[in-house]
Amino acid sequence: MYMKNELPQFSKIRTEQIEPQIRQILAQNQRQVTELLQQPTFTWDNLMRPLEDQDDVLSKAWSPISHLHSVMESEGLRQVYRNCLPLITEYYTELAQNEKLYAAVKSIADSPAYADFDAAQKKVIEDEIRDFRLAGIHLPADKKARFAELEQQLTEWTTKFSENLLDATQGWYLHITNRAQLAGLPEQTIKLAEENAAQHKKTGWVLTLEYPCYSSAMKFLHDRELRRVMYEAYVTRASDQGPRAGKWDNTPVMKNILRARHEMAQLVGFKNFAEYSLATKMAKHPDKVLKFLHDLLKKSRPVAEKEIAELKQFALETGGLREMQTWDMMYYSEKLRQSKFNFSQEKLRAYFPAQKVIDGMFALVKKIFGLTLKEEKNIDTWHPQVQFFVLYDEQGEFRGGLYTDLYARPHKRDGAWMDEYQSRRRLKDGKIQYPIAYLTCNFMRPLDNKPALLTHEDVETLFHEFGHCLHHLVTKVDYAPVSGINGVPWDAVEFPSQFMENWCWEKETLAMISSHYQTGETLPENLYQQLIATRQFQAALQMLRQLEFAIFDFRIHLEFHPDHSAQIENILQEVRQQTNLMDVPTFNRFQHSFAHIFAGSYCAGYYSYKWAEVLSCDAFEKFKEHGTFDPTSGRSFLQNILEAGGVKDPLVAFVAFRGREPQVDALLRQSGLM
């Protein structure tokens, strides 16, 4: 394989060698910047290319460490990660506040040669100049120093948030010795609980807060008191409430994160962090974001009120439940789904063995985009369950590589995400460095000598993250800062991922990705019809849940005031009055585990999921109009969206594909709201 020697050697990473290596690279890069800035004049080749080269060296050294910190954390790795992160933060802050470097980049933008730059080069320069300003290049020395200090604090607190959440998730479990208490649980979950017990050196069964176990318990466990116990432990993780109250409390951490972001934004001339965040997004003004979210809320709430009334009536009739609590919702929703549609996600597991889903997903992208993925064996990875695939285009040209790590395990961060090892770029000798991505999920692992079996929700998650990976891997942009997902406004970055989810509901696709793990039978027609019938089941309630997250996120960053001590809780309560149709227990501390905004890149940007879903639903309707596997539409999406990287304005790219601006109607139709 062309790139095999370029891949990280995970088995050779030694914790004690990480910090010295990072320090050496940082020092070398700093020396090189000093030397570059001594040149009399600046061009793309003598400044921008060397800067990209040195950034690539650092990125490829740090990416495997950062990735291992998320998927295979150990005490030693956590400590070295904490030691190195401030060094890297300081390095990038100094670069962003280097006035000589800013002047050098600006001189290129002002030079006659700039007119001859291609669109990607111009976008790199434009983004650089914008980011210098967002880092306070124009500030006096004392304010620059304060901005740098806040950057360090923010790095420290967001890391602490993640660590607290991981420790709190791993630090609680429920030991059960009476099998009767597990009544209702699928056999897969019971087997998982047996294995969990063995890992904890206990007899019986252990239920954990890892999501595959937790969600299954909340949907199927008949024992209401056990559901309440599990719910309380889950929604109080890393907080001042619940069974481990105060042990890994993120309360002060969240306040420090918001305080640092707010002050940084004000230092560089913004009223608040929400406005600062929008400087790099499609939606340029807070009013536009809030109007978008509240318009969806207005359309969703009346439908959701009918859905919750139906659920409460069902719980009363079938369970004698006069007052439904939040820990009853998933359980009775699942029962209602089964009652209305004779359908359960667990019914589908047998038809979605993970490898069949992956093979079918790859067959799909070959059909619509002309892309081929092949597994490459004998690759040095971080865990035996990790696979590696190489990507080729329609002409047989090599385009990139993809690691997949699909299953939950101890010491692995919860959730699903895509990240990059390296980006596409053209090297000085004219050769291409090809992109490499990580695809990480937390599905139920293979059990009892059976293959890993996915729910349809798992399949959607896999397609979503694969969409991100495709966006990064198939780019044809040759400059790393704007190739793949780089340089794409954050409220457009979810477009390709949510677009890919649509295919999971198509009959032709389901035939490609399903195969009973014992009989080989594809998804039967009756199960397909039941699945389709459930697509809009409680869709408005799901919409309200996402809107709660998005409005809460945006408002705490828009309205933050350093002197208002209970602001996070107060704003959340106000938002819940608009979005929640059931009383939330006073002990609920969902915000303490909201890693997307307190430890990730979605701060003042969680609205991006719904914003980009407008694009994805509308784009998919073009395929519905021209045929599910229409190659012309597929190649157009590939060319205009996936290959374009961060060069084109996302709206311009969308219009090039769709022939008009996006319309919200497709999202409303898909959600059953019109």
Q: HEC states along 562-615? A: CCCCCHHHHHHHHHHHHHCCCCCCCCCCHHHHCHHHHCCCCCCCCCHHHHHHHH
**Contact criterion met (CB below 8 Å) for 160 and 274:** no
Active site residues: 465
Among the candidates 557, 577, 603, a domain finishes at: 603
CA geometry: angle at 286 spanning 159 and 597, to 5°? 15
Question: Looking at the structure, do residues 446 and 390 belong to the same domain, yes or no?
Answer: yes
Question: Looking at the structure, do residues 375 and 333 belong to the same domain, yes or no?
Answer: no
In a domain, 41, yes or no: yes
Domain CATH for 417: 3.40.390.10
**Contact criterion met (CB below 8 Å) for 334 and 344:** yes
Domain assignment of residue 40, given as a range: 4-96+98-134
Residue whose entry in the numeric block shows the structure tokens 């039967």: 524
Widest pairwise Cα distance in the chain: 82
pLDDT at 379: 96
The neighbouring-strand residues paired with 207 are 174
68-72: average pLDDT:
97
Total structural domains within the chain? 4
Q: What is the DSSP letter of 453?
A: B
Question: Looking at the structure, do residues 12 and 127 belong to the same domain, yes or no?
Answer: yes
pLDDT at 2: 55
Question: Looking at the structure, do residues 580 and 480 belong to the same domain, yes or no?
Answer: no
pLDDT at 53: 98
**Contact criterion met (CB below 8 Å) for 22 and 57:** no
467-480: average pLDDT:
98
pLDDT at 347: 87
**158-209 per-position pLDDT tens digit:** 999 999 999 999 999 999 999 999 999 999 999 999 999 999 999 999 999 9
- Taking the C-alpha atoms of residue 311 and residue 316, their distance in angstroms, rounded to an integer, is 9
Q: What is the DSSP letter of 470?
A: H
- Taking the C-alpha atoms of residue 437 and residue 424, their distance in angstroms, rounded to an integer, is 11
Among the candidates 457, 487, 517, a domain finishes at: 487
Question: Looking at the structure, do residues 441 and 552 belong to the same domain, yes or no?
Answer: no
Residue whose entry in the numeric block shows the structure tokens 């966006």: 471
**226-264 per-position pLDDT tens digit:** 999 999 999 999 999 999 999 999 999 999 999 999 999
The neighbouring-strand residues paired with 405 are 440
Question: Looking at the structure, do residues 337 and 381 belong to the same domain, yes or no?
Answer: no
- Alpha carbon 486 to its chain centroid, in Å, reads 15
Question: Looking at the structure, do residues 14 and 105 belong to the same domain, yes or no?
Answer: yes
**529-578 per-position pLDDT tens digit:** 999 999 999 999 999 999 999 999 999 999 999 988 899 999 999 999 99
Question: Looking at the structure, do residues 370 and 456 belong to the same domain, yes or no?
Answer: yes
Question: Looking at the structure, do residues 376 and 454 belong to the same domain, yes or no?
Answer: yes
Residue whose entry in the numeric block shows the structure tokens 């509901």: 505
Question: Looking at the structure, do residues 118 and 44 belong to the same domain, yes or no?
Answer: yes
Q: pLDDT averaged over the chain?
A: 96
